[in-house]
Amino acid sequence: MALKWYTIVVDSLDPQAQARWWAQVLDWTTVYDTPDEAVIVPRHALEEHEQGPVTHLDTWMRRGQGLVFVPVPEGKTLKNRLHIDLAPHTSQDRDAEIQRLLELGATKVDVGQDVDKVSWTVLADPEGNEFCVLSSRDQ
């Protein structure tokens, strides 16, 4: 038997602001919000969450993951050891999506990548957490 990958937890100076930002980036929605935690999930998963507890193991294992933002007193100081990769579909304009992220408050980041040789762009969210926008794909 395998365990379920449930969430990724992101330490944040302002969990609510981070949750709102990432929800806007991903077109997700907030399902839980307290001073100690903000949780976002894909919009299509919202109905599943509203239905309450899941008793069937296979159904529960297929339920998507969320992002959880929790408060910490310190700011980010080092490069992330774990990051999120985002990918546009081949029908989307990748450069326009990157521009949208920049307009929402993301920043371009140099983590040592050779921008002339890689097929991804490294950005950081408003609190400095790195993430990548990959090349367009259909799988």
CA distance 136 to 86: 10
Q: Which tens digit of pLDDT belongs to each residue from 2-22?
A: 798 889 999 999 999 999 999
pLDDT value for 27: 94
Which tokens go with 118?
A: 């890689």
Residues 19, 61 within the same domain: yes
Domain count, the chain: 2
Would you state the pLDDT for residue 38?
Answer: 98
Stretch 64-88: mean pLDDT, rounded?
A: 92
pLDDT-derived band at 97 (thresholds 50, 70, 90) equals very high
**pLDDT computed for residue 44 by the predictor:** 80
Give the closest residue to 29 by CA, choosing from 51, 50, 9.
50
Same domain, 23 and 47: yes
List Cβ neighbours of 16 (8 Å cut-off, separation of 6 or more).
Answer: 33, 38, 69
β-pair partners for 32: 39
98 is a domain residue: yes
Q: What is the pTM of this model?
A: 0.89
Q: Which domain holds residue 104?
A: 84-133
DSSP string over 2-38: -----EEEEEESSHHHHHHHHHHHHTEEEEEEETTEE
Can you give the pLDDT at residue 59?
A: 81
Looking at the structure, do residues 20 and 67 belong to the same domain, yes or no?
yes
Confidence of residue 50 (pLDDT cuts 50, 70, 90): low
Q: Is residue 88 domain-shared with residue 62, that is, in the same domain? A: no
